Chain A
Amino acid sequence: MTPPRKQRLAAVLFVLGGTAVTLALVLLALEENVNLFYEPAKVASGQAPHGVDIRAGGMVAAGSVVHDDTGLGVRFVLTDYQGHNFQVAFTGILPGMFREGQGILVTGQLAEDGTFQAQEVLAKHDENYMPPELHDIAQRASDPG
């Protein structure tokens, strides 16, 4: 490479490096300060603020889903499977993927009694895609009894 080309390459890499470092610092700051997501442990131990909009999430605890008589109201428990739970109340249409054991993100406010009043319930699905038959085989393999 000729000297002017080397110089230009160095300049471009310098600009790119500078941008990357700046952005990395911004993201690092964002991660520390704008972490508005609360796990069941944080909600259960009272670390999540009451009366302000927050995001929380967990797995739907087995047998906890109760629909009310009007049909749209639903209450369920979100858990981290490590003993931390919290109650969620929601009125509206649940996502199609909603079921027991499903990872769920809720947006809303914590009421004084510790119930999470959700305005939005979103289902998170994982990266494991398999047909039902394969799922049955996998279940049998992990649970021989």
Chain B
Amino acid sequence: MGLGSWAKRAFHRTGSPRWFFAGSRRWMIGLYTLGIALILVGSIWGLGFVPPERYQGDSFRILFVHVPAASLAQTMYIAIAVAGLVYLVWRMKMAEMLIAAAAPIGMAVTAAALATGIIWGMPTWGKGWVWDARTVSTLVLLLLFFGLQALRQAIAHPERAALAVSLLAVVGVVNIPIIKYSVEWFTTLHQPPSIEIGKRPTIASVYLWPLAVNALGYYCFVAGVVIAALRVRIVEREANAEWLRSWLAKQER
């Protein structure tokens, strides 16, 4: 079997709620376990064992939460935008269910990135919230996640709601490059990134390792949460489906 046909099969299988529901339980548990373990290791390492920063002292340690949260928020939006495109073009209902499941979680992650940013800003910048390009574009990201949720609930017709939400998801992706390049295009108080593809990190390696462990942990954990939310959506939507009933009957026995 070639790679092309394998990808095609994976695409169709993931698109099937029944197949996904049966196969995703192990993934969910695995991602939860791995995520929690990595977050524990990364946080204890980063908060307790690396030396304080030369100028900021201990206050910079919030970076071990702030950076993974901010990165994850953007990645989640990109995933949602891709799902929106898949729904608009292929009308795959799993894609639309993924948006519904992931949007509230994305909102929480973005809120965490903003909150940790405010807490970090207070001792270092001298002010928690600053209206600069990076902070405002991240606030827009929060509003986009909120908007996806609100728009779905505002339209009674499920199929129309799905189309509108998917279109907003795709169009909203233009905000992602704005967040990314805001620190280069404008004079922002927010510092430029320390880690970029193809460049040497400007964060000392003693800090880079716990940060990498934490970031991976957050990604795994949130992926687990998204899968769990998606499974709930599937149960809601396929409540009358024969396969789900027989699965439930099997669980009860």
Which residues of A line the B interface, CB within 8 A? 1, 5, 8-9, 12, 15-16, 19-20, 23, 27, 31, 35, 37, 57, 93-99, 102, 105, 120-135
Q: A95-B126, A97-B124 are in contact. Are A130 and B204 (CB under 8 A)?
A: yes
Is B202 in contact with A133, judged by CB distance below 8 angstroms? no
A16 to B174, CA, bound (A): 8
Is B178 in contact with A27, judged by CB distance below 8 angstroms? yes
Is A130 in contact with B124, judged by CB distance below 8 angstroms? no
Whether a CB of chain A sits under 8 angstroms from the CB of B55 is yes
Is A97 in contact with B170, judged by CB distance below 8 angstroms? no
For the residues of A in contact with B, the DSSP-based class is mixed
Q: A120-B127, A129-B202 are in contact. Are A19 and B189 (CB under 8 A)?
A: no
- Tell which of A15, A123, A124 touches B171, judged by Cβ atoms closer than 8 Å: A15
Q: A129-B53, A129-B207 are in contact. Are A97 and B89 (CB under 8 A)?
A: no
Whether a CB of chain A sits under 8 angstroms from the CB of B36 is no
A116 smallest CB distance to B (angstroms): 16
Whether a CB of chain A sits under 8 angstroms from the CB of B37 is no
Is A128 in contact with B178, judged by CB distance below 8 angstroms? no
Residues of chain A with a CB closer than 8 A to B51's CB: 131-133
Is A127 in contact with B193, judged by CB distance below 8 angstroms? yes
Residues of chain A with a CB closer than 8 A to B126's CB: 93-98, 120-123
Which residues of B line the A interface, CB within 8 A? 50-56, 59-60, 63, 85, 88-90, 123-127, 130, 167, 170-171, 173-174, 178, 185-187, 189, 191-194, 202-204, 206-207
Is A127 in contact with B194, judged by CB distance below 8 angstroms? yes
Is B85 in contact with A129, judged by CB distance below 8 angstroms? no
Residues of chain A with a CB closer than 8 A to B186's CB: 31
Is B174 in contact with A96, judged by CB distance below 8 angstroms? no
Ordered nearest first, which 10 A-B pairs have the shortest CB separation?
A95-B126, A131-B51, A130-B204, A135-B54, A127-B194, A129-B203, A37-B187, A127-B191, A132-B54, A128-B202
A12 to B164, CA, bound (A): 12
Residues of chain A with a CB closer than 8 A to B90's CB: 5
Is A96 in contact with B89, judged by CB distance below 8 angstroms? no
A121 to B85, CA, bound (A): 45
Closest residue of B by beta carbon distance from A20: B174
Is A131 in contact with B50, judged by CB distance below 8 angstroms? yes
Residues of chain B with a CB closer than 8 A to A102's CB: 55
A135 to B53, CA, bound (A): 9
